[in-house]
Homo-oligomer: A and B are copies of this chain.
Amino acid sequence: MSDVLIREVGLRDGLQLVKNILPTEKKIKWLNKQSLLNFQEIEVTSFVPKKVVPQFFDAKIILNEANKISNLTSSVLVPNLFGAKKALELNAQKINYVLSASESHNKANVNKDINSSINELNEIVNYNNNLEKKSSISVAISTSFGCSIEGKVSPNKVLNIVEKVTHLGVDEINIADTVGYGNPYNVKYLFKHVIEIAGKDKIFAHFHDTRGLGLANVIAVLELGIFKFDSSLCGLGGCPFAPGASGNIPTEDLIYLLKTQGIHTGINLNSLLDFCKFIKDWFPDEKLEGKMSKAGLPVGF
């Protein structure tokens, strides 16, 4: 049915920077609709403190609703053990734990050093292992190519983290180009070495289009046999360090690209573009991205 796994992150990474709180019923409508469009996994919300990101005040409700949808893996972002425990109590099917390859970014994002983050991941893995019904544990390595504080991040730093988290027994490693420092050259280099350590099957690619190279980077990792991607509908989201800059690669553009390469996605692009239009009206104050929603499908596609 599908050669790829596309995880929609609009409801988490996308909404994270949206100032107006999207009403809970709209979030629920979004995840139900997108699941009906054959998406197999959605990052549905984030278990971060409400004070830090008020947008996710309804994380519990959203996760509960997501869990009612059959054929959907609902994953949630957690920044720490506390968030992970809450999410696991609520039967999150997958925990997306986040740390950064840049020490300064990790400090700014989760207020600890990378080693402490890895130790906390270890606690999460152990906690989960002792549960009667285990969930999947995914770790996102943010700023895997660079960050706005430190600049370029050395591949060795990332590979060192990949080795450690692989040793902890995580189910999935998400190499994230959080602020658009990746390009086809350094992306290919890093993923090649990540694959050598962790194997292809565990790896997700999370690209942002900050500097226009998001889809070129997708092609680069497809050539290495990576078929798991994060993306955000209408490119919802942005970059806190570059006002007006683009965020995640747009889901509909990613799917168009994949289809042109002969890769089965299991998703009807016409229906998805209709859904994009529907969603767009919810965000009158956001600069939405994505070319397909403006250009439409090629004639006869």
Which residues of A does B touch, CB under 8 Å? 146-152, 180-181, 183-186, 209-213, 215-216, 218-220, 239, 242, 244-246, 250, 253, 256-257, 260-262, 290-292, 294-296, 298-301
Structural contact, A219 and B291, CB atoms closer than 8 A:
no
B residues within 8 A CB of A181?
298
Q: How far is the CA of A147 from the CA of B216 in the complex (A)?
A: 23
Structural contact, B244 and A294, CB atoms closer than 8 A:
yes
Closest-by-CB residue of B relative to A297 is: B211
Q: A227 to nearest B CB, angstroms?
A: 16
Q: How far is the CA of A106 from the CA of B155 in the complex (A)?
A: 50
Closest-by-CB residue of B relative to A218 is: B216
Q: How far is the CA of A180 from the CA of B299 in the complex (A)?
A: 11
Q: How far is the CA of A261 from the CA of B213 in the complex (A)?
A: 12
Once A186-B260, A261-B185, A262-B185 are accepted as A-B contacts, the answer to whether A212 and B290 lie under 8 Å apart by CB is yes
Structural contact, B211 and A295, CB atoms closer than 8 A:
yes
Closest-by-CB residue of B relative to A249 is: B212
Closest-by-CB residue of B relative to A256 is: B211
- Interface of A (DSSP majority class): loop
New A-B pairs, 4, CB < 8 Å, besides A212-B256, A245-B294: A146-B298, A146-B299, A151-B301, A213-B215
Structural contact, B152 and A300, CB atoms closer than 8 A:
yes
B residues within 8 A CB of A300?
146, 151-152
Structural contact, B183 and A261, CB atoms closer than 8 A:
yes
B residues within 8 A CB of A257?
183-184, 212-213, 216
In-complex Cβ contact of A295 among B210, B261, B262, B295 (8 A): B210
Structural contact, B215 and A295, CB atoms closer than 8 A:
no
Q: How far is the CA of A219 from the CA of B262 in the complex (A)?
A: 18
In-complex Cβ contact of A219 among B147, B150, B184 (8 A): B184
Q: How far is the CA of A99 from the CA of B151 in the complex (A)?
A: 46
B residues within 8 A CB of A210?
291, 295
B residues within 8 A CB of A149?
299
Once A183-B261, A185-B261, A300-B151 are accepted as A-B contacts, the answer to whether A242 and B212 lie under 8 Å apart by CB is no
Q: A178 to nearest B CB, angstroms?
A: 12
B residues within 8 A CB of A246?
291, 294-295
Q: A249 to nearest B CB, angstroms?
A: 9
B residues within 8 A CB of A209?
291
Q: How far is the CA of A186 from the CA of B261 in the complex (A)?
A: 9
Q: How far is the CA of A184 from the CA of B295 in the complex (A)?
A: 18
Closest-by-CB residue of B relative to A209 is: B291
Q: A74 to nearest B CB, angstroms?
A: 28
Name the residue in A148, A262, A296, A299 with the highest tally of chain B Cβ atoms < 10 Å from its Cβ: A299
Please list the 8 inter-chain residue pairs (A to B) with the smallest Cβ-Cβ separation, ordered nearest first.
Answer: A151-B300, A183-B260, A212-B291, A151-B299, A245-B295, A212-B253, A216-B216, A242-B295
